[in-house]
């Protein structure tokens, strides 16, 4: 398999390293993942980062979770896979971990209150086409009466036309259109090329 090819599909237990294997390979694997993530972490304005997930970034998260929790029994490993596999894009979408960051706890509480519903106002736009808004926090309740959560999970579904334009080199913008937080970003060539590999 060439270095540019992308493995698709869900992770199975056979794809994971044992705790012992991972402790040996972790430094090298981590460096590979951080390099890969460089073009998949997109700051949007001063307080938001989108992490575009894929099979490799999710494998890293699962391996780290197993390591930290010392999980080695098959049922526990399967539980982690069941929790994380839905975050892997499946060829017609992008999946994003959406992080809102305010270092000061008092400011964070106040700002999160003003950002209720922000997860539903996130969008991606392929050059020449309409914006596609996020499907947020499927099967999860990430906000309450007072405030939104500081972490959300987003899915952006792409039409066949959007996907083909991306694969043909079309420019991509991403952004947030919320009364309290409006920013947009044009992706760089390396960023858009990385995301194009998610599409089947």
The rounded mean pLDDT for the chain is: 91
CA dihedral (128, 130, 136, 138) positive or negative = negative
Stated length of the chain:
200
Mean pLDDT of 11-37: 95
34 pLDDT higher than 80 = yes
pLDDT of 9 reads: 83
Mean pLDDT of 8-35: 94
Mean pLDDT of 40-60: 96
pLDDT of 140 reads: 60
Confidence of residue 186 (pLDDT cuts 50, 70, 90): very high
Confidence of residue 155 (pLDDT cuts 50, 70, 90): very high
Return the structure tokens found at 123.
């969008």
Confidence of residue 139 (pLDDT cuts 50, 70, 90): low
Mean pLDDT of 107-113: 91
**Extended strands (E) in 59-143:** 93-100, 122-126, 131-133, 135-136
Exposed e or buried b per residue across 98-128, where buried means at least 16 C-beta atoms within 10 angstroms of its C-beta:
bebebeeeeebeebbeebbebbbbbbbbbee
Q: What is the pTM of this model?
A: 0.89
pLDDT of 160 reads: 95
Mean pLDDT of 167-180: 96
- Alpha carbon distance 116, 180 (integer Å): 9
Confidence of residue 4 (pLDDT cuts 50, 70, 90): very low
3 pLDDT higher than 60 = no
2 pLDDT higher than 70 = no
Confidence of residue 125 (pLDDT cuts 50, 70, 90): very high
77 pLDDT higher than 90 = yes
**Extended strands (E) in the chain:** 41-44, 48-53, 93-100, 122-126, 131-133, 135-136, 151-157, 172-178, 181-186
Phi/psi for 184 (5° steps) reads: -140, 155
């Amino acid at each position: 398999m060439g270095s540019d090819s992308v493995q698709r599909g869900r992770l199975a237990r056979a794809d994971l390293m044992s705790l012992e294997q991972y402790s040996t390979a972790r430094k090298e694997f981590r460096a590979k993942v951080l390099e890969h993530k460089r073009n998949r972490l997109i700051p949007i304005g001063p307080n938001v980062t989108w992490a575009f997930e894929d099979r490799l970034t999710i494998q890293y998260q699962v391996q780290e979770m197993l390591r930290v929790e010392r999980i080695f029994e098959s049922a526990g490993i399967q539980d982690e896979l069941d929790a994380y596999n839905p975050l892997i894009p499946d060829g017609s979408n992008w999946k994003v971990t959406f992080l809102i960051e305010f270092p000061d706890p008092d400011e964070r509480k106040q700002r999160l209150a003003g950002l209720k519903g922000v997860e539903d106002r996130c969008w991606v736009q392929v050059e020449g086409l309409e914006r596609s808004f996020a499907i947020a926090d499927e099967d999860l309740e990430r906000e309450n009466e007072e405030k939104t959560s500081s972490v959300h999970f987003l899915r952006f579904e792409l039409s066949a036309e959007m996907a083909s334009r991306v694969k043909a080199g079309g420019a991509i913008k991403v952004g947030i259109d919320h009364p309290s937080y409006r920013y947009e970003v044009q992706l760089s060539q390396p960023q858009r090329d990385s995301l194009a590999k998610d599409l089947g």
